[in-house]
């Protein structure tokens, strides 16, 4: 589902990834682990083509990511759900509008959107917050909304970049529970984290990074 072949990407501050190779199967839940600056976010950003590697090949969902045209990139990203450490919610829109956004981009009819948004908010336990604004929610709730927004379009892949970075342990557990549930339904999930204690009891597949190289 996700294949990295000798991928190298150097940032201006000389950080980045060097000769990284790995394969992730469909439906796997893979943790990207490592300290700050290890290259976790670079890998996540390479998968969604927010950055382009200097060399190597990245195959995601049968797309050669480096060769995606602008038009193909939009189609490619529609199959990927994204969860970010800073939530990336739109503060002047309600929870309903935030969660509905990916479906509105796809041109789904409003009636279906309403049903789906209610369904997914129910799943993350925040249906009662449907008309609230993001700043009325706690950090953990905002991240759950972010997960709901990532999952609403039934993506094939979910990439999560430090989704528990700003959360307390209980909220972090809730978020990982949500993602694990989704993984059991066949969604491939790749989650970057530096919080090993949080995941040590859950871990099945992981890629450990240090100084931009795969350690194990």
Partner 1 sequence: MIEQLKFILIESLQSFKRFRLYSFISSLTIMICLIIISFIIYLSDVTNNLSKNFKKNESVLKIFLKNNIDDDKSLEVCQNIKEDYEFELMTFENRNELFSKIDKNLKTWLKDDLEFIPCLCSFNIDITTVDEIDNLSNQIYQNYKDVIDKIVYPRSYLVKFEQILSLVYSVIFLIGVIIFVVSIYNISNIIKLSIESRKNVIEILKLHGANKIFIKAPYIFEGVIHGLIGFILSSLFILFSFNIFSSFIYDHFLAQSLITSISFQTYILINLIFGVILGFIGSNLGTSNYLE
Residues that bind partner 1 (CB under 8 A): 48, 50, 70-71, 74-78, 82, 88, 90, 92, 101-102, 104-110
Q: What share of the chain is helix, strand, coil (3-state, %, to 5)?
A: 40, 25, 35
Q: Which two tokens stand for residue 180?
A: 């694990």
- List, in order, residues 6 or more apart from 38 with CB less than 8 Å away: 194, 209, 210, 211, 212
In angstroms, give the least distance from the CB of 65 to partner 1: 14
Nearer to partner 1, 160 or 199 (CB): 160
In angstroms, give the least distance from the CB of 22 to partner 1: 23
DSSP 82-108: EEETT----TTS-HHHHHHHHHHHHT-
Judged by DSSP in three states, 66 sits in helix
Nearer to partner 1, 10 or 51 (CB): 51
Q: Which two tokens stand for residue 41?
A: 């976010």
Task: Write down how long the chain is.
Answer: 216
Report d(CA 88, CA 181) in Å as an integer: 22
Report d(CA 167, CA 42) in Å as an integer: 22
Nearer to partner 1, 26 or 110 (CB): 110
In angstroms, give the least distance from the CB of 42 to partner 1: 16
In angstroms, give the least distance from the CB of 96 to partner 1: 13
In angstroms, give the least distance from the CB of 158 to partner 1: 13
Nearer to partner 1, 113 or 176 (CB): 113
Nearer to partner 1, 108 or 130 (CB): 108
């Amino acid at each position: 589902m996700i294949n990295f072949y000798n991928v190298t990407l150097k940032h201006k501050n000389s950080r980045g990834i060097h000769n990284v190779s790995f394969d992730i199967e469909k439906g796997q839940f893979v943790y990207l682990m490592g300290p700050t600056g290890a290259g976790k976010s670079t890998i996540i950003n390479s998968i969604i083509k927010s950055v382009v590697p200097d060399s190597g090949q990245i195959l995601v969902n049968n797309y050669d990511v480096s060769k995606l045209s602008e038009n193909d990139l939009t189609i490619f990203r529609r199959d990927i759900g994204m969860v970010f450490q800073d939530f990336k919610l739109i503060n002047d829109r309600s929870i309903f509008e935030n969660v509905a956004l990916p479906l509105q981009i796809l041109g789904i009819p409003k009636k279906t959107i309403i049903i789906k948004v209610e369904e997914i908010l129910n799943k993350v336990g925040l249906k009662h917050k449907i008309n609230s604004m993001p700043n009325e929610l706690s950090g953990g709730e905002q991240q759950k909304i972010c997960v709901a927004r990532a999952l609403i379009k039934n993506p094939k892949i979910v990439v999560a970049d430090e989704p528990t970075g700003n959360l307390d342990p209980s909220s972090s557990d809730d978020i990982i529970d949500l993602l694990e549930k989704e993984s059991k339904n066949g969604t491939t999930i790749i989650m970057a984290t530096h919080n090993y204690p949080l995941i040590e009891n859950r871990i099945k597949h992981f890629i450990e990074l240090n100084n931009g190289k795969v350690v194990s």
